[in-house]
Amino acid sequence: MIVFPNAKINIGLNITERRPDGYHNLETVFYPIKINDVLEVIEADELIFDYSGLDIPGDDADNLCIKGYHLLKKDFPKLPAVKIHLHKNIPIGAGLGGGSSDAAFFIKLMNEKFGLGLSVDAMMDYARVLGADCAFFIESKPVFAFDKGDEFEAIKLDLTAYQIVLVMPDAHVSTAEAYRGVKPAPVKESLYDLIKTPIANWKRHIKNDFEGHIFRDNPIIRGVKAELYEHGALYASMSGSGASVFGIFESTPDLSAMEEYNQIFYNV
Ligand SMILES: C[C@@](CO)(OP(=O)(O)O)[C@H](O)COP(=O)(O)OP(=O)(O)OC[C@H]1O[C@@H](n2ccc(N)nc2=O)[C@H](O)[C@@H]1O
Ligand SMILES: Nc1ncnc2c1ncn2[C@@H]1O[C@H](COP(=O)(O)OP(=O)(O)O)[C@@H](O)[C@H]1O
């Protein structure tokens, strides 16, 4: 069975407080985009993971798909061994949630392939164990997210009339490091309300709290956002903890001047 895990962008990200468990409470909007990995699972005699495409840092044993397998196996001891092949296409360390998406799609695939009978809520509970933004990818529909970023309220947000362009500069940001550099603060205007206002309003009001310190340390990423506005973006922002930056445009911009130093995904 083959599935196509998709990436997400964060539209707005307010980090509101540090929690006693070391995590942070936040509010954000997750919006699914059309950049996809390819994930294939077949039954096998032993558990095997291999991958192609982009280089994934770390050991294969730590891959989130393998972690997902062990998590399910604890509750479903009769689960057969499988061979997992991942074709990695979603940029890594980009704030696009690629690893989390692979894990969530793996759980959904296993549920269907082996008839585990898990409800959407049950699959989300498994996903939450693997990463804060992992549960979002079980349904992968636009949501307002809160708490650790793993509780959701569905929202009506349809950006299909616009062109979303995603720019991946030659920079990587670790999520844990990004959180360490941020000073949590209560929100003045909730993103839940702001996201319902016209896009023309977003530039002045919807912000990503990671941008402050990450832009200071990485002028390249700051520059990409500025360039997207220079090319006419209605709204531009770093996604999640970076390093990718997206722009929402009325029509496809000519970003050829940026292509030498960045990977650019049009119409995502
Ligand atoms: C920042 C966000 C925004 O959407 O996305 P990315 O930029 O990584 O895609 C998410 O909060 C990332 O979620 P995810 O990548 O699943 O995080 P996890 O693996 O659970 O945690 C990685 C590390 O980030 C920190 N962390 C994560 C979530 C949270 N609410 N508070 C935190 O402080 C913790 O230090 C944790 O050890
Ligand atoms: N299937 C996977 N795809 C990508 N990264 C993975 C995967 N499994 C584990 N990882 C680890 O997770 C880290 C963060 O990956 P990713 O989810 O792409 O970034 P981000 O947190 O920016 O969305 C990587 O550096 C890698 O070590």
Domains 2-154 and 163-265 share a fold: no
Cα dist from 129 to 26, 61, 96, 125, 164, whole Å: 18, 17, 19, 7, 31
Mean pLDDT, the chain, rounded, equals 97
Residue 172 pLDDT greater than 90, yes or no: no
Q: Strands 235-238, 245-249: parallel, antiparallel or unpaired by DSSP? A: antiparallel
Half-sphere exposure of 187 (CA within 13 A, CB side): 21
> Whose atoms come closest to the Cα of 94: which ligand?
2
Q: What are phi and psi of 90, to 5 degrees?
A: -75, 125
Which is the catalytic residue, given 37, 133, 150, 209? 133
- Whether 75 shows a pLDDT value over 90: the answer reads yes
Pocket test for ligand 1, best of 175, 182, 208, 209 (most atoms within 8 A of CB): 175
Mean pLDDT in residue range 21-28: 96
Q: Nearest CA to 240 among 20, 31, 53, 89?
A: 31
Is 203 a catalytic site residue? no
**Quick check: CB of 210 below 6 Å from ligand 1?**
no
| Domain 163-265 CATH class label | alpha beta
Q: Band of the pLDDT at 41, cuts 50, 70, 90?
A: very high
What's the rounded mean pLDDT across residues 30-50? 98
Mean pLDDT on 71-85: 98
- 2-154 CATH: 3.30.230.10
Catalytic residue among 8, 88, 108, 225: 8
Residue 16's pLDDT is: 97
Between the CA of 128 and the centroid of ligand 1 the distance, in Å, is 11
Q: What is the ipTM of this complex?
A: 0.96
CA 248 to chain centroid, in Å, comes to: 17
Is residue 173 over pLDDT 90? no
Give pLDDT, residue 210. 98
Confidence of residue 94 (pLDDT cuts 50, 70, 90): very high
How confident is the model over 105-162, as pLDDT tens digits?
999 999 999 999 999 999 999 999 999 999 999 999 999 999 999 999 999 999 999 9
**Positive or negative torsion for Cα 76, 79, 85, 87:** negative
> Which protein residue's CA is at the shortest distance from atom 26 of ligand 2?
57
The residue extents of the domains of the chain are 2-154, 163-265
Atom nearest to 210 CA in ligand 1: 1
* Residue 21 annotated as catalytic: no
Ligand 1 atom with minimal separation from the 147 CA: 30
**Confidence at 194, pLDDT banded by 50, 70, 90:** very high
